[in-house]
Structure 1
Amino acid sequence: MPSTTVNGRHLLKNYPSGYPIPGTTTIYDTSERLDLDTVPLNGGVLAKLVVLSIDPYLRNTIKGNAPGSVQLGQPLTGFGIVKVIRSEVPAHSTGDYLSVNGLYHQEYSIFTKDQLSSAELLKADNRLPLSVHLGAAGPTGLTAFAGWKEFAKVKKGDTVFVSTAAGAVGSLVVQLAKLESLKVIGSAGSDEKVKFLKELGVDVAFNYKTTDLRDVLKKEGPIDLYWDNVGGDTLDAALENASTGARVIICGSISSYNHAATSAGVKNLLHLTSKEINLYGLSYFALAPKYDAEFKKTVIPKLADGTFKYLEDRKFGLDQAPQAMLDVQNGGNTGKSVIILSDD
């Protein structure tokens, strides 16, 4: 009788109306089994999930009324690193590590040759954990670098404000700003995260839950560049305290992901005209190809030698994915959220 292996999956059980609740919104399911030795590959590869990225944008993929939403009973999709365990694709050998976008949140997957066309072969680097290639040395870091290079247009003496500055993207943005000797204001949601910002050299680091945002920006501004990870009232406050000709880079809007109907709207858009503010929407997929090579050449070595710092929020086992989903939405994580499935 063939031997089968449990193929654990992170499935969507119910569409959320607010925060994704572990066990209610998404679940860890063990009902599927595979015979890893005989399952047909049809010219593709069988791969084992090694590290899974849990990102804020995943909340927007589980809205039932949104185009492309995950369907009930199906696994979520996102970024991850897999290890090839069987291959019928000449370009990929058993033991290869691949960084893949659009993979299912499940422990084993079969990928067609076409699906692997955009996968990246990862070369072992003992200076960095494999998981960092999903965070500061991967799509997260490239998001920060590409947005900065494309839109920041900084000049000497600029003041930069970064919201969610201790997060995976924000923490690299503030380090890119400090590399250019700029004044950086950073907000975070806990005293622990504020401490990390000070370690990164942030000039004005504050806990937005205990300190009035507008008081800080009025005192320390005007703001020449705002990197927005939050949206809503924080964006409003930044526009109020922006300088003439300021740049605003919209990277995320997590304040509206879970409570879209009740979240604070932006009321100060007239500042865009009166202050001649430039508003930029950052799309990772549009900019990544343009800056990927430069990112690998300039940023990854700085991560490896410790010039650039990063934090990881590690959970172990795919059964932790539902909780990790909630944590990245309500700020319960510290650093880049990753699920470690294997020590391989």
Structure 2
Amino acid sequence: MAPVKNGRLVFNEIPTGLPEPGKTTVYDESQTIDLESVPLNGGILVKTLVLSIDPYLRGRMRDASIKSYSPAFTIGEPLSNYGVGLVLRSEHASFKAGDHVYGSHPFQQYFVAAPADAEKLTVLKNEEGLQWSVYVGVCGMPGQTAHHAWREYSQAKPGETVFVTAGAGPVGATVIQIAKQQGLKVIASAGSEEKVAFIKSLGADVAFNYKTERTRDVLARAGPIDIYWDNVGGETLEAAIDAAAVGARFIECGMISAYNGEEPYHVKNLMLIVGKQLKISGFIVMWLHEKHLAHFYETFPLLVKEGKIKYTEDATHGLERAGHAIVDVQTGRNKGKSVIIVSEDAGPARL
């Protein structure tokens, strides 16, 4: 077989604000790959099918000297994130051609995973017959984030009230549904009327557009809150502290209000954490896998198949459009879980 193009989305330079497609990230088709003869050296050859676009990717677009929980992208190399791929060839005993694998994928059409990297990938059984993109959304890292942290930190009891920010996003939407199934009252916010309608359809008792209604006013009417799921930080966190009941649990998942170089908002009521005896838990999802991942895979794919956990998806077709999708997620223009469909071919390997 003749070599084929191996398109990549390359990290080109560190942004100072929002990432800019064509500047921060550049799509490159200069490389080729011979799918029949490329050396595997004990690893596997993978065809990328779908990639996840998540808010935290912005944090990886930094100088490598700045330490964080996730590694910085390397200038001149492809971005990477969670994806699903199809194994085309294998020299590793744990994988065979035709397997679908989930885990960290470079933003390129084909890649060889060395043995140590291959061992970090999960073979997806998908006995429920879900579309593969679901496994980077509600049945992937975003769903795991909601599932793991809720089980670990919420201490939820029927009749309590939870406030969920970014409620139309893949994590927030899943939290809303988990909370409703456990008998909680749910207050949820989103950034457009269309997104508000979606979170209402998930069962949110109080759903509002934070761009047209003040969060503080809504919480004053609908609170106090016993649990706060924070995807936003900043002034919204301050409003949640004001509205918190004594002993409320704050689950700190993300703070997108500070991801793109905005002037930091200084929360002014931190002393209330003491007076209200708040429990504030920050977390990184992979650190909770050992305790909760088995339960997640035992339950979530079936719940999705049965329609008990609903989701929306914003699919972008073509790796060359991934840079634009990254910006859409940072600015809230996406409608549902943002995924990049790299290849429509999700069938068995045929070389």
TM over 0.5, shorter chain: yes
Matched to 2:149, the amino acid is G
Identify the residue that residue 9 of structure 2 maps to in structure 1: 10
Mapped pair 1:20 → 2:19 = yes
Matched to 1:90, the amino acid is A
Matched to 1:5, the amino acid is V
Identify the residue that residue 56 of structure 2 maps to in structure 1: 57
Mapped pair 1:94 → 2:62 = no
SS at match of 1:118: coil
Shift of 1:127: 4.0
For residues 235-277 of structure 1, give each alpha carbon's deviation from its aligned partner in whole angstroms, at most 9, with x where no partner exists: 11101111110000000111111025x1312222111101000
Tell me which of 111, 114, 120 is aligned to 2:113: 111
Identify the residue that residue 325 of structure 1 maps to in structure 2: 326
Confirm or deny: 8 A CA contact 1:232 1:256 kept in the other structure: yes
Identify the residue that residue 254 of structure 1 maps to in structure 2: 256
Confirm or deny: 8 A CA contact 1:174 1:202 kept in the other structure: yes
For residues 159-187 of structure 1, give each alpha carbon's deviation from its aligned partner in whole angstroms, at most 9, with x where no partner exists: 10000011000000000110012110000
Mapped pair 1:263 → 2:297 = no
For residues 37-95 of structure 1, give each alpha carbon's deviation from its aligned partner in whole angstroms, at most 9, with x where no partner exists: 11111111111101101111110111125233212211111111111111111221111
Shift of 1:207: 0.5
Shift of 1:126: 5.3
Supply the distance in 1 between the matched residues of 2:126 and 2:145 (Cα, whole angstroms): 22
Identify the residue that residue 169 of structure 1 maps to in structure 2: 171
5 Å-filtered alignment, 1:162-311, equals 162-260=164-262, 262-311=263-312
Identify the residue that residue 80 of structure 1 maps to in structure 2: 83
Confirm or deny: 8 A CA contact 2:166 2:189 kept in the other structure: yes
Supply the distance in 2 between the matched residues of 1:133 and 1:319 (Cα, whole angstroms): 21
Supply the distance in 1 between the matched residues of 2:74 and 2:296 (Cα, whole angstroms): 35
Listed as ranges, the gaps of 5+ residues in structure 2 are 347-351
4+ residue segments displaced more than 4 Å = none
Shift of 1:8: 0.6
Matched to 1:291, the amino acid is H
Supply the distance in 2 between the matched residues of 1:189 and 1:94 (Cα, whole angstroms): 43
SS at match of 2:115: coil
Listed as ranges, the gaps of 5+ residues in structure 1 are none
Identity %: 45
Supply the distance in 2 between the matched residues of 1:49 and 1:265 (Cα, whole angstroms): 42
Supply the distance in 2 between the matched residues of 1:120 and 1:24 (Cα, whole angstroms): 33
Mapped pair 1:139 → 2:115 = no
TM (normalized to structure 2)? 0.94
TM (normalized to structure 1)? 0.96
Supply the distance in 1 between the matched residues of 2:106 and 2:97 (Cα, whole angstroms): 20
